[in-house]
Amino acid sequence: DGGITQSPKYLFRKEGQNVTLSCEQNLNHDAMYWYRQDPGQGLRLIYYSQIVNDFQKGDIAEGYSVSREKKESFPLTVTSAQKNPTAFYLCASSIDGDNTGELFFGEGSRLTVL
C-alpha cells in the first residue's frame, strides 16, 4: 500500500543530543513537509521541500535541519539548539507544491526530551 512511514513512533532524548526523525513516502509525491504539533496550538510548519535537493524554512525552522537527497525521503534533525523540542512531529506529502491542500500525513513521531 502507498503511504507515508514515519519512524520511530516514540523517541526519548537527553538534553543536548541531536535526534533524526525519518520520513519515507512511496506515493511518488514531489512535495514533502514537516509539521510540529503542540497541544492547543495546532500544526506549525517547520520545513518543506518541493523538489529533490531543495527545501525552504517554514514558520518555526530554528533548531531544526532537513535534507532531501531522494524524492522518497525527507528526514528531520532536531538539534540541541531547539529550546523546547518535546512535541509530536508530523510528516506530510502532496503531489506537487501547487496542490498543497491535499496533504497525506504519516502517523507521527512523538519526541520527549528528558
Binding site for other proteins (CB under 8 A): 4, 6, 31, 33, 35, 40-45, 48, 50, 56, 58, 90, 92, 97-98, 100-103, 105-108
Q: Which is nearer to other proteins, 4 or 21 (CB)?
A: 4
- Minimum distance from CB of 50 to other proteins (Å)? 7
Q: What cell does 25 get?
A: 513516502
**Positions of E strands within the chain:** 4-7, 10-13, 19-25, 31-38, 42-51, 54-57, 64-66, 76-78, 87-94, 104-105, 109-113
Q: Which is nearer to other proteins, 18 or 107 (CB)?
A: 107
- Minimum distance from CB of 48 to other proteins (Å)? 6
Task: Evaluate whether 24 touches 73 at the Cβ level (below 8 Å).
Answer: yes
- Minimum distance from CB of 15 to other proteins (Å)? 26
Local structure of residue 67 (DSSP, 8 states) = -
Q: Which is nearer to other proteins, 16 or 40 (CB)?
A: 40
Local structure of residue 70 (DSSP, 8 states) = B
